[in-house]
Amino acid sequence: MSISGRDIITLENLSDGEILQIFETADKFEPVARGKEKSDVLEGKIIGALFFEPSTRTRLSFKSAAKRLGGGTIGFAEAGVSSTAKGESLADTVRTVENYCDAIILRHPKMGSAKFAAEMVEVPVINAGDGAGHHPTQTLLDLYTMRKATGDLEHFDLGLVGDLKYGRTVHSLAYAITRFIPKLFLISPPSLKMPSEIVGDLSDRGVEVVETSNLEAILPELDILYVTRIQKERFPDPAEYEEIKGTYRVDPELLQEAKPELSVLHPLPRVDEISPEVDSTPYSMYFDQVFNGVIVRMALLSMLIG
């Protein structure tokens, strides 16, 4: 079983066994990510990180992962400093950059852009977020964190809360996690529900989907609460965002109703949907997710191009 040279556009590009193999490799990279051991599995390899949208975690964790493994990175953090600003197409940009590197990591505001880029080039393309589409490496680190928090990927009740309409992390996660668990709680304001085609796909696969706007009522049932930001930048009408922002806030008072072993995850960045007082409680797992993002991306890069 090898994923060498493959594009990672959605998690559907990986089998369950391949996902678990990435996790086992990630476990081994932990001391390397902490700077306690050295690795040269990417020596001589160059990653092209093309970010047409802002990012802190995805871009920097990929750069950190490549560097820890002895590789290098090139790229840009905003379209304005590339020749996109002069009108160059995405196709020409990626066909150019593939001459400089061994894999392309692409974040772009347009849904479908990573798939399109993968069709244009020979080197592997990793989707680092395509508009409201998918974010498969975030999903890998989310699954990895859930597995660490609960001991496996099969025996927990998971609720996704917040912006389920525009949030690409929850779109990817909903498809991926239901390969392992049979039930999913979707908690959102009515106007930010999970797209009906995704709910339909999950139902067709036999997943029990519970949709509600009432977080307080569902919280006591959950082992994992995955919180997402209401994504201001994706609202066509700013007034609609103003109306809906602040709908959910996870704070110590709300968490009094939770199971003691509940884990709270968030892909970050957060705005005010989790209060900072939660950070120092045993519920908080979102900065563990950040670290896990490095080792999971190390594993992925080593298996794709190492």
| Catalytic annotation, residues | 57-58, 86, 107, 135
Instruction: Tell the smallest beta-carbon distance from residue 224 to ligand CP (Å).
Output: 17
Nearer of residues 59 and 68 to ligand CP, judged by Cβ: 59
Q: Residue 73, annotated ligand binder?
A: no
Instruction: Tell the smallest beta-carbon distance from residue 138 to ligand CP (Å).
Output: 5
Q: Residue 231, annotated ligand binder?
A: no
Give the 3-state secondary structure percentages of the chain, helix then strand then coil, rounded to 5: 45, 15, 40
- Residues 149-188, interacting with ligand CP (CB under 6 A): none
Residue from 269, 271, 282, 287 touching ligand CP (CB under 6 A): that is 269
> With contacts defined by CB under 6 A, how many residues of the chain interact with ligand CP?
9
Residue from 4, 15, 56, 281 touching ligand CP (CB under 6 A): that is 56
According to the binding rule CB under 6 A, does residue 55 interact with ligand CP? yes
Q: Report the distance separating Cα 88 and Cα 50, nearest Å.
A: 14
According to the binding rule CB under 6 A, does residue 292 interact with ligand CP? no
According to the binding rule CB under 6 A, does residue 73 interact with ligand CP? no
Q: Report the distance separating Cα 215 and Cα 225, nearest Å.
A: 10
Q: Residue 268, annotated ligand binder?
A: yes
Q: For residue 72, list its beta bridge partners.
A: 46
Burial category of 213 from C-beta neighbours within 10 Å (exposed 0-12, middle 13-18, buried 19 and up): middle
* CB-based burial, 80-112: b 16+ in 10 Å, e otherwise: eebebeeeeebeebbeebbeebbbbbbbbeeee
Q: Report the distance separating Cα 156 and Cα 305, nearest Å.
A: 34
Tokens describing residue 55:
């990012």
Instruction: Tell the smallest beta-carbon distance from residue 265 to ligand CP (Å).
Output: 11
Residue 170's identity, in one-letter code, is V
Which spans of this chain sit near ligand CP (rule: CB under 6 A)? 55-58, 129, 138, 267-269
Residues at the annotated binding site for carbamoyl phosphate? 57-58, 107, 135, 138, 268-269
Residues at the annotated binding site for L-aspartate? 86, 168, 229
